[in-house]
Amino acid sequence: MNLKNRAMNSEEVKRLLEKYYEGSTSSGEEQLLKKFFCGDNIPSDLRIDQEIFHYYVQAAEIPEPSADFEKNIFSAIETEDKDLSRFKRRRMFFSLSGIAAAMLILAGSYLFFAGRSGPRDTFTDPELAYAETMKILLEVSSRLNHGTKALGHLSVLQNETQKTLATVSRSTAKIEDNIRPLDKVFNALGKAGSNNENNNK
């Protein structure tokens, strides 16, 4: 059948589609179907088949991978692995150098503080050391005595304050003695006032 020179009607397309789905079409017949479905006047009952053939046309446009495609992928993976191992080595180097720096700081601190010792005895002669100690203690004692002289004025002030408080206490006692008779008068007045209120009621 010579289908290349004339346009196909929908019955011929359906018959070719049956062969196509059975897998018995030739490559020329498949080309005719593709050409038909790429056209504009497609019957509504063949729209689904048109979608299928559009998919096949688009899939045919995707290029086949090159011959060295796998080789390129493996090369990219190897490069990535090398970069990753280089990064791990660099990270390990920085970690180890940080640990080494910390160890050096600790060792240096130990040596610095271990080299310093506590106070040393500068006197080899005990009698000279005793004489120097006595001299220092006498100096401290004289300075303390000089400082406590100023406290003598405080004792005078304290005595005067006590005398004043005693005088105030005596005055307060006399005032209380003089107020007691007035308390009796106020109590009597209070009782009289309460009796008047009761009588008025």
pLDDT in tens, 5-46: 446 777 888 888 888 888 888 888 888 888 888 777 788 888
| CA neighbor of 53 nearest in space, from 65, 37, 39, 42 | 37
- What's the CA gap between 192 and 86, in Å, rounded? 113
What is the full DSSP assignment across 17-51?
Answer: HHHHHHT---HHHHHHHHHHHTSS---GGGHHHHH
The answer, yes or no, to whether residue 58 has pLDDT greater than 80, is no
% pLDDT > 90, the chain = 0
pLDDT(60) > 70: no
pTM recorded for the entire structure? 0.29
Residues in the chain, total:
201
**pLDDT beyond 70 at 52:** yes
pLDDT at 3 over 50: no
Which tens digits make up the pLDDT trace of 106-140?
888 888 777 666 556 666 778 888 888 888 888 88
CA atoms of 49 and 34, how far apart (whole Å): 10
